[in-house]
Amino acid sequence: MANPTYTYDNQAIRESLLDIITNISPTETQLYTGLARSSASQPRHEWPKDTLNAAADNAQIEASAAGDGGQTDPTRAANYTQIFRKVYEVSDTDRASDAAGFKDRVAYEMNKAMKEWKNDVEFALVRGSLASGTGSAARRLQGVKNFISTNATAQSGVSLSETILNSYFELSWNSGGNVDEVYVDGTLKRRISGFTGGATKNVDVEDKRLVNSVDVYESDFGLVKIFLHRHMTVSGDNNFDIVGIQSDKWAVAHLREPENVPLAKTGSSTKAMIEGELTLESKAEAANFLGTAHL
C-alpha cells in the first residue's frame, strides 16, 4: 500500500496570499475636509477683526445736534503657516518585484503618504501650538483648541452633563456666536448620546467629510452636529475635552497646496515627498467654546 502524501512537508505547494492589503489605520479629517478654504500669501498670515458696540438705549431729541462718533477700530489676528512633509522611497529592486496588493509600489506609497500627510494636518488643526520658527526650529500653526480662550472652561474632573453642554452653547451665544459643530472623543460622545432632553438622533446629511452620518443634537440654541474626533483627547491628556465651533468662523488657508515632489535620484531607488504649507484662520474665537478635563 502506497504511503499518502501530506501538505505539512511539501515545500512545492504555493503560498495562499490574498492580493489585497488591509489597512485599518484611521483617516478621518473632519476639520481639514470640512472647513472653508482660504489662501495665505506669506508665512505670517493675518486677517482683520472688528466688533459692534453693545446694544444700548438710543433715543434722540428732535432737531438735536449729532455728537461725536463712538466707533471702534478693526484689529488684526494672525497665525503662522506650517510646512507638512511626508517622504517616501522605494528601491528599484522592490519596484521590479512581483508583490501582492499593488502593481506599482511607488504609486502605492504616494497614496499612503498623502493620507498620512492629511492626518498630520488634522492633528495640527486640532492641537497645534503657535511658534514663529527660526533657522533651527519649525514654524507651527495654532490649532482650534489653543485658539479658544474667551469661552474656555477647565472642569477638573466634572462629568459632562446635558446642563453643562447647554451652558457651553449659551456662553458662545452670549459672546455673539452660534455653535453648529461639536467635537468629542469616544467617552464624551457616548455621554452625549445618552442625553434625553435634546434627543440626539442620526440623520443623513450632505457633508464633504468622511462620514456616512452625523449625530445632531437639538439645543436651545439650534441644531448642532456632533463629531467623533480621534485627536480631541490623546494619550497624556487630563481626562476628556470637548470643543464647540461656529464653523463659518474658521478656514484653512494654504500658502502651498500639497504636491507630490520627485526628489533627486542618488542611487537605485525612487524617492519623493508630499509637501504643502498651510495655517488656520480663527475669525472670531469668542464664538466657540472649549471644555477641558471632563469625566
pLDDT along the chain (295 residues), means of 10: 59 56 66 95 94 88 89 92 97 89 87 94 98 97 98 93 96 96 94 72 54 71 92 94 97 96 95 96 97 95
pLDDT at 38: 96
Give the three cell numbers for residue 114: 498623502
Strands 181-184 and 201-203: what pairing?
unpaired
CB within 8 A of 187, min separation 6: which ones?
Answer: 233, 240
Judged by DSSP in three states, 203 sits in strand
- Three-state DSSP state, 126: helix
pLDDT of residue 212: 40
Specify the residue for cell string 522592490. 94
Nearest by Cα to 251 from 161, 136, 125:
125
Alpha helices in the chain (DSSP H): 30-34, 92-96, 105-127, 144-147, 162-174, 186-193
- What pLDDT score does 175 carry? 94
For residue 142, which of 83, 183, 184, 82 has the smallest C-alpha distance?
82
**pLDDT of res. 98:** 86
The helix/strand/coil state of 122 is: helix
Burial 84-102 (b: 16+ CB within 10 A, else e): bebebebeeeebeeeeeee
Q: Are 243 and 289 in contact (CB under 8 A)?
A: yes
Query: Cell numbers 477700530 correspond to what residue?
Result: 73
Q: How many CB atoms lie within 10 A of CB 164?
A: 15
